[in-house]
Chains A and B, each alone.
Chain A
Amino acid sequence: MSSLSDPSLSGQTPTAQGTPDVGYWRSLSQLHGAEDPNIGAEFVPEQLEPMDGTTRRRFMQIMGASVAMASAVGCTRVHRYVVPAARGIEGRTIGQTQPYATAMEVAGVAIGLLAQSYEGRPIRLDGNPLHPANKGSVNSWAVASVLGLYDPDRSQQIKYRANIKTAVVEKSWDDVKTAFRDLRTTNTNNQGEGLRVLSEATSSATLQGLKANLKAAFPKAQWIEYEPVGRDNERLGTKMLFGQPLRAHFDLTKAEIIVDLDADLLGAHPATLQYTRDYASNRNPEAVLAKKASYNRLYSVESNLSTTGGSADHRLAMRSSEMKKFVAALAAQVGVLLKSQAPTEHALGNAKADRYLTAMAKDLVANKGKCAIAVGFRHAPEVHALVHDLNNQLGNVGKTVLYYAAPEGDAPTGYQALANLTKEMADGKVNTLFILGSNPVYSAPKDLNFAGALTKVPNSIHVSVYHDETADHCSWHLPQSHYLEAWSDARSWNGTHSVVQPLIEPLYKTRSTSEVLNLFLTGQLAKSYDLTRNAFKAAYTNSTEPTWKKALQDGVVPDSAWKPVDAKPATATADNRAMAVLLTTLLSDAAPAPAASELEAVFVPDSKVFDGRFTNNAWLQEIPDFITKLTWDNAILLSYATADRLGIKHQQMVNATLNGQTVKAAVYVQPGQANDSATLLLGYGRKAAGVVGGTAVGRVATVGFDFTPLRSSAAMDIVTGLKLTPLSEWYTFASTMEHSQIDTTGQRERDRRADVLIRSDTLEHFKKEPGAIKHKVHELPQVKLFDNPLEFQVKGEYKWGMAIDLSKCTGCNACVVACQSENNIPVVGKQQVINQREMHWLRIDRYFSGDSESLEDVTVVHQPMMCVHCENAPCEQVCPVAATVHSADGTNDMVYNRCIGTRYCANNCPFKVRRFNFFNYHKQLDDEKNNVIRLTFNPDVTVRSRGVMEKCTYCIQRIRAAKIRVKNEAIKNNDPENKIKDGDIITACQQACPASAITFGDLNNEASQVSKLQGSQRGYKMLEDLNVRPRTAYLARIRNPNPELEAASSKKEAGHGHG
């Protein structure tokens, strides 16, 4: 029950017992009414921490030295050099970036990219607009991979040791060639009986070709593909139902009702970028008002609050181990409804879940052929079979749900294959093992004892970009080229084929996996280009030079997407009768749901570092997770009620015991988490990741907790029986959850106004009363007390502005990293994040709403927040040195050279978007080892030093570049009136956004997209009553709840409820 309806609480300020009277809060401590010491304080106390390791005396010494140095430098001019290439490079214009299409493969699925090359070095990765799957958008992993290229911790040297006891020696590629020759002879003699290749999932035709060559040369050899986070259950489930292994793909543009059962379509699914775009494309309330489009409805059932769950119109927090029962009940309910019978009551025996299930089932049946149901890969094959049978029954197949022949074919699952391989290794049957890119010593379940089995393999060859945990246990470690250094190819989720085009020669003496395999097979050090080119010639009969060039230029091979398979339930294996049997077995508790008190553990890949492959990427480590806002850490996520029951507090250390293994880790109490379900985030606790991700040897502590020991080969993803024993130890998370709170007059006032900062409405109410969103705040008469000489007057040719659509934003963080990459934003590290000194110009504020009685049922709103470029900017009025001033176009410019670091501006900014360089975060780059990181810098943006304030500039470098470009063209074409067209300037965040939630443009131009959006009924500006006149407007979040489920709750509707 909402506390709002309690008359004793409504209209009151929050108390220790009550909840804020209007919906939104950011953290549990805020919900429970704890006074935030940061609110109202002039400076955040943590920010006043002394400068680490620098005493006052040392500071004076350094200062004295730099003054002396500066004066010495001032006397003579140091020569600088310009070094043009001896031979000109055709088509290259010095001083301009050039885009090259390429692709990045993660776990066997490609993301089409456009790499921006500046004078021969890639500096930024954008989405490829011509790629049909992501159409120019990009995710955080792809953006951050450019930092991975310039990671000084990358493996640079071939290492060899005869066995685990002997010392490591450095070798050359010639040594490898010799060693491979001997290995080839050994293995040829027994037809490759003891030859195994363990590869990460790959869709590359180059590698498939080499795999075929390997099979031909060594008929008894085996090639195993293994991913720590597998997707095999879908393959097995579709085989159960359709008789053939298939890959499901959803067309969400046509789906009115989307049901996401732990699938995280908008977050962790390999086709997330496409799904997010398609989902967002059907969420245009203006189009609904104009009766031009419909509005989709998203249901989500899951244990941990995922990106999809955060965006869902209805979310049911449910233990993952109950999914079988839920899906069976849903199938039964849909079956009943399809026969036009009255729905079964108490299908699940839980009032809330039953109500949810029935409403959802009715919605599905009412939208036959226009709905889609997806279930997470971590669920059992029979759940997949049932879900796809449901899709089939509802007539979605061929419309919203498409099937492709599974590219993995009918191979055993990755987990099973790895278990088989480990057994062979332990039995001494494997003589030669290639490990391509994978890191099984870290990621394999510990009951397999992969590392132990590896010692029994006389020749183990590890090829990887990093000298990781597995490298330590192999006889050979060969440094692998980064994907931006070598040729390859990859396919996206729907099969669209892309060439992985390198942007730079290998920085170190590295080779691609294809080159290494080819060296083993042929003894020749071939070039990866030839291998990929030949693979294309083999794959496409018409792969002539022009078509190859075209594929390179566009980044996609035209019409290479797979053709959907006409999937019908196979009569023999799974006709309706067989499905009915399956259904009854599931329903009749053949798989009983665990007892309520039994805690389940769900292993979920981390949103930042995935399964651990991005652990050494500092950009990714420092993104606040979309829901926990955790940086530099993972945790055990527990619901508030469960933590309470177990006597565990937020940030408390616990011993987590499962299958006889114990891991010590910290607990994070997370609203939205299902009760009695613990989410264990994978990808952390690496012991040989590098300076960022942690190393066991050396000075760098491991980052986060390694939960892989708790996984077992029998239960990799969902397992019950987790025991948590609280310890009397505490941990500190670096969570940005409560940072940069937008307070106007203290916390109480902020609680009251949160509802005004983030506005939302239901579709029904919005249709009835579209003006209510703007009406949340009374238009205050703007009385002038005096003529402010600083008051901004619009006089420029353009009036830049932005619109951010909260109905579309899923909080995926792509924009945060894109901004970091574009604007040379430094990484500050865990301690500085704890001190609230993170530097991200763009942060995503995540607000919960819901009452403290049922914290698992919260709703989430994400609000990307960056400088809103107030016309009447409070920061400008307090700067004593005019370091922040307005341009004629109305952008609020930051002049770094004037800034003396008083931080008055940040203090006076009501939006808390200004970031101060407490340290020279780039100082570490002076170290020769780290110098290579400088290559990531965008040359168009100043690299800031210590003591300087910075903030979002609306990508001023892009605005200026466009102005110059357009004017140049105008004068050349003798048309000086020509202006920048709408869409000519795209900010970095806008470019990355898969949901197209961000729009930028000229507000002087009434026809521009941004003008239209700002002027729409949903458009509102934050803190309008302060008369700061922001240039960024937000578009209210419009939810589309099912009236049947939403009957009682009217509190989220807009309007401020007077009169």
Chain B
Amino acid sequence: MTETSPAPAAEKPLFFFPKWFNNAWKIILPVALTGPVVFLVLAWFGFNHQSTHVGYQPHQPVNYSHEIHAGKLGIDCRYCHTDVEKSGQANIPPTETCMACHAKVAIGKGSLELIRESWNKNKPIEWVKVHRLPDFVYFNHSAHVNRGVGCVSCHGRVDQMEVVKHEKPLSMAWCLECHRNPEPNLRPLDQITSMTWKPSDSGNEDALSLGKTLRNQLKLNPSTDCSTCHR
């Protein structure tokens, strides 16, 4: 075979940029520089637990005020949410619970019209759910209120809410923060439903050392296994 190596096409450049590209870099360069920043900002917002439903405060069918009942009147949470210590779910009370008092108190009040109707017609009230976890999350109330985690830790100062508001992120990262280091959020079991309790009330200035004592006492070892909450 004779050697006939083709001569390199020296005239043609390997890459040919079209003319419009001379100006295109003016767009490409800023996008390339700011793009990652925009992406990062979006991702940070997206994954940040602060961007959950904090602030959600739906209008309820009945103008029930936690501020009056839990705050001013000082009714214990468990008077209405009876199953919170026994069950995974803290129940919304039946109309019967309202009528226990309101058969005698504020009988003719206009805002109670729906309650009376519900009671007389045996028709349930459709309360709007405020704190809602995804369906694949199995949070258990009894596992927390029996371990020294107070209501206020997750639900905020309900005693100051005229209308209940979603105050804490309730995101997975937020849950894990406490599961990894529960001590700052522990309180004596008799103060579970208290909205105003401070470590100093239990004669302890330092929340951490009290938490440590309680953790040892109750042998708490919060799990961070996936199956603790996801099944």
Contacts and interface: CB of A to CB of B under 8 A. Distances in A.
A967 B146 contact: yes
Contacts of B127: 81-84
B218 A971 contact: yes
Interface string A622-638: 00000000000000000
Contacts of B128: 79-82
Given A83-B124, A84-B124, A953-B231, A887 B223 contact: yes
B61 to A, nearest CB: 9
Contacts of A58: none
Given A77-B53, A897-B136, A976-B217, A87 B126 contact: no
Given A77-B56, A895-B226, A977-B219, A84 B92 contact: yes
B191 interface: no
Interface stretch (A90-98, A191-199, A368-376, A608-616): A90-98
A126 B56 CA distance: 42
Interface in B61-108: 83, 85-89, 91-97
Contacts of A940: 138, 231
B95 to A, nearest CB: 4
Interface in A926-958: 940-943, 953, 956-957
Interface string B206-231: 00000000000111010101111011
A481 interface: no
B198 interface: no
Most buried by B among A80, A896, A972: A80
Contacts of A87: 94-96, 119, 122
Interface in A550-599: none
A538 to B, nearest CB: 34
Given A86-B95, A88-B94, A95-B89, A80 B231 contact: no
Nearest to B56: A77
A81 B126 contact: yes
Given A87-B96, A887-B223, A972-B146, A942 B230 contact: yes
Contact of A86 (B96, B135, B143, B189): B96
A86 B123 contact: yes
Given A86-B125, A960-B227, A942 B136 contact: yes
A941 to B, nearest CB: 6
B58 A79 contact: yes
A885 interface: yes
Nearest to B100: A88
Nearest to A94: B91
A960 B123 contact: no
B87 A887 contact: no
B92 A976 contact: no
B165 interface: no
Nearest to B224: A888
Contact of B143 (A797, A968, A972): A968
B26 interface: no
Nearest to B144: A964
A465 B136 CA distance: 35
A354 interface: no
B147 interface: yes
A1007 interface: no
Contacts, number: 126
Nearest to A970: B219
B140 interface: yes
B226 A893 contact: yes
B185 interface: no
Interface in B38-66: 53, 56, 58
A84 B227 contact: no
Interface in A39-89: 77, 79-89
B83 A93 contact: yes
Contacts of B146: 967-968, 971-972
B109 interface: no
B160 interface: no
A interface residue count range (under 10 / 10 to 19 / 20 to 34 / 35 or more): 35 or more
B129 interface: yes
Contacts of B217: 976
Contacts of A956: 227, 231
B165 to A, nearest CB: 13
Given A95-B89, A96-B87, A964-B140, A86 B227 contact: no
B83 A95 contact: yes
A747 interface: no
A85 B94 CA distance: 5
B216 to A, nearest CB: 9
A897 B95 contact: no
A977 B221 CA distance: 12
A83 B126 contact: yes
Contacts of A77: 53, 56
B30 to A, nearest CB: 26
Contacts of A85: 94, 124
Contacts of B95: 84, 86-87
A891 interface: yes
Interface in A832-888: 885, 887-888
Contacts of B226: 885, 887, 893, 895
A145 B135 CA distance: 26
B194 interface: no
B171 interface: no
Contacts of B121: 86
A476 B219 CA distance: 67
Contacts of B138: 940, 957, 960
Most buried by A among B121, B125, B218, B227: B227
A976 B83 contact: no
Most buried by B among A94, A896, A960, A976: A94
B230 A896 contact: yes
B132 interface: yes
B147 A82 contact: no
Contacts of A81: 126-129
A94 B231 contact: no
B96 A88 contact: yes
Nearest to B148: A971
Nearest to B97: A88
B125 A84 contact: yes
Contacts of A889: 225
A888 B223 contact: yes
Given A94-B89, A960-B228, A972-B146, A86 B126 contact: no
Most buried by B among A81, A885, A957: A81
Contact of A896 (B58, B87, B89, B136): B136
B124 A86 contact: yes
Nearest to A964: B143
Interface in A961-1009: 964, 967-968, 971-972, 976-977
A95 B88 contact: yes
Contacts of A957: 138, 231
Contact of B231 (A93, A96, A941, A967): A941
Contacts of A88: 93-94, 96-97
A895 B138 CA distance: 13
21 contacts: A80-B132, A81-B126, A83-B125, A84-B95, A86-B94, A86-B96, A86-B119, A87-B119, A89-B94, A93-B87, A95-B88, A96-B88, A887-B225, A888-B223, A891-B227, A896-B136, A942-B136, A953-B227, A953-B231, A964-B88, A968-B146
Q: Which 6 A-B pairs have the closest CB atoms?
A: A95-B89, A887-B225, A94-B91, A976-B219, A95-B87, A893-B227
Given A83-B126, A942-B135, A976-B217, 15 more contacts: A81-B127, A82-B128, A84-B94, A86-B123, A88-B96, A93-B83, A93-B86, A94-B87, A887-B226, A941-B231, A942-B231, A943-B135, A956-B231, A960-B138, A964-B140
Interface of B: 53, 56, 58, 83, 85-89, 91-97, 118-119, 121-129, 132, 135-136, 138, 140, 142-143, 146-147, 189, 217-219, 221, 223, 225-228, 230-231
Interface of A: 77, 79-89, 93-96, 797, 885, 887-889, 891, 893, 895-897, 940-943, 953, 956-957, 960, 964, 967-968, 971-972, 976-977
